[in-house]
């Protein structure tokens, strides 16, 4: 073979090797890319494990703790379920009947299962769930991401997550409030995902309420793990406690969304520690904050005044609005606060709040609440249940009593 021909053959061989090598590298990269895509898809699935279809709007119902603390039994739970139906509250959306701490025996059974307390829940939780479901309602229960619950009267679920989630599913539980006491010292970001995965494996959609008290800012990491997350310390039945929780919760407003809500703790309306006006403020802020509306009073013995507050359909409609955007403080001046948030249908929820000791005029300007400045606006007063005759341009002013509020839905009409 001539030297020139041999040289050409060598060149061709080298070229073939380069092409083959390139094809192999391309194939290898394609396979790796496919693996990466699969890995990314798996990661997306993993991150969105709690896509359980629950909490599209904030949950509504009742929780036993604020009024009854540990003094609960199956009779109280059944009578509360009955009362939600007979008062008409269930038709307004109050559907969860949630048992808080102290419902179980201190010791698990021989198989490691949680045991309902024989003295207070002799029929067991399954029978109670069946009763609540027969009323068209849902039953919630309580556990803890620690060795004991906060009351130290019953076991937590740490180390028993799958077993307990399976038990809750078998009982027909619809909601789990998961607390953060008596832990092993590990971070909640380590302990809470374990229960999330256990709930997803249980085979039953269960609303997961992370009760981490806002300690490690669960609004920043709770979305893949829960349907709601506590942003605050425990509330108590006082004006200052209620406002403190409202303030803390508002800080995380941008993290609330359908399927996952900021939780400033249960409602105290009707427990007697605040005035009627203060309770109206309490309910109004929780509503526009898209907070869970979980009543904390004795539903069986509500006053007419309490019923008028918690059964206000127009205020509830703000909370349950499909837009799902939490209201924020638009302006603060001394004791005056203006809260606002968008609603569906190009409307705006507006809260004028007087936190001070004297009656004060409060003005909301359109540019503070994201309404075009020259808009002509119709205002609906949700506590007076009337649409104001006057149309407003540029701003709205109202005089607000001490420790009171005005709540409007604003609708541009021109």
For the annotated catalytic residues, the residue numbers are 179, 234
In sign, the C-alpha dihedral spanning 23, 28, 33, 34 is positive
DSSP 118-149: TTT-TT-HHHHHHHHHHTT-EEEEEEESSSB-
In sign, the C-alpha dihedral spanning 248, 241, 60, 196 is positive
Alpha carbon distance 116, 102 (integer Å): 9
SS3 call for 116: strand
Alpha carbon distance 323, 313 (integer Å): 17
187 Cα distance to chain centroid: 21
For the beta carbon of residue 194, count every other beta carbon within 10 angstroms.
Answer: 17
383 Cα distance to chain centroid: 25
Instruction: Indicate the length of the chain as a whole number.
Output: 414
Compute φ and ψ for 310, nearest 5 degrees: -75, -15
Q: Are 229 and 219 in contact (CB under 8 A)?
A: yes
For the beta carbon of residue 153, count every other beta carbon within 10 angstroms.
Answer: 15
Q: Which residue has the tokens 């403190």?
A: 244
Alpha carbon distance 379, 411 (integer Å): 6
DSSP state at residue 266: -
177 Cα distance to chain centroid: 11
**Non-local CB neighbours of 355 within 8 Å, separated by 6+ positions:** 243, 335, 336, 337, 403
Alpha carbon distance 405, 398 (integer Å): 10
Compute φ and ψ for 228, nearest 5 degrees: -155, 160
Burial of 333 (0-12, 13-18, 19+ CB in 10 A): exposed
Burial of 58 (0-12, 13-18, 19+ CB in 10 A): buried
């Amino acid at each position: 073979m001539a030297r020139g021909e041999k040289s050409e053959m060598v060149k061709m061989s080298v070229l073939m090797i380069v092409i083959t090598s390139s094809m192999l590298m391309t194939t290898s990269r394609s396979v790796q890319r496919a693996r990466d895509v699969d890995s990314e898809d798996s990661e997306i699935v993993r991150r969105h494990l709690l896509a359980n279809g629950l909490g599209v709007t904030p949950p509504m119902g009742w929780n036993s703790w604020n009024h009854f603390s540990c003094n609960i039994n199956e009779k109280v739970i059944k009578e509360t379920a009955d009362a939600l139906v007979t008062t008409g509250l269930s038709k307004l959306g109050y559907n969860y009947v949630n048992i808080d701490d102290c419902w179980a025996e201190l010791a698990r059974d021989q198989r490691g299962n949680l045991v309902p307390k024989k003295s207070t829940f002799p029929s067991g939780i399954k029978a109670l769930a069946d009763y609540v479901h027969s009323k068209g309602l849902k039953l919630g229960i309580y556990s803890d991401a620690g060795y004991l619950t906060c009351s130290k009267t019953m076991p937590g679920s740490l180390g028993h997550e799958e077993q307990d989630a399976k038990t809750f599913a078998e009982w027909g539980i619809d909601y789990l409030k998961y607390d953060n006491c008596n832990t092993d010292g590990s971070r909640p970001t380590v302990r809470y995902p374990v229960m999330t995965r256990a709930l997803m494996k249980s085979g039953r959609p269960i609303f997961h309420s992370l009760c981490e008290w806002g300690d490690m800012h669960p609004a920043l990491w709770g979305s893949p793990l829960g349907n709601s997350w506590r942003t605050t310390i425990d509330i108590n039945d006082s004006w200052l406690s209620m406002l403190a929780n409202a303030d803390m919760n508002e800080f995380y407003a941008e993290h609330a969304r359908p399927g996952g809500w900021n939780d400033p703790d249960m409602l105290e309306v009707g427990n007697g520690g605040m005035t009627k006006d203060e309770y109206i403020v309490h309910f109004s802020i929780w509503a526009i904050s898209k907070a869970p509306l979980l009543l904390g009073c004795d539903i069986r013995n509500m006053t007419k005044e309490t019923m008028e507050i918690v059964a206000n359909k127009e205020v509830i409609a703000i909370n349950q609005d499909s837009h799902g955007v939490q209201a924020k403080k638009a302006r603060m001046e001394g004791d005056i606060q203006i809260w606002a948030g968008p609603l569906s249908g190009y409307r705006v929820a507006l809260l004028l709040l007087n936190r001070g000791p004297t009656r004060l005029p409060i003005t909301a300007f359109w540019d503070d609440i994201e309404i075009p400045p020259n808009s002509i606006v119709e205002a609906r007063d949700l506590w007076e249940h009337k649409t104001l005759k006057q149309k407003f341009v540029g701003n709205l002013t109202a005089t607000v009593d001490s420790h009171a509020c005005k709540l409007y839905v604003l609708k541009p009409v021109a």
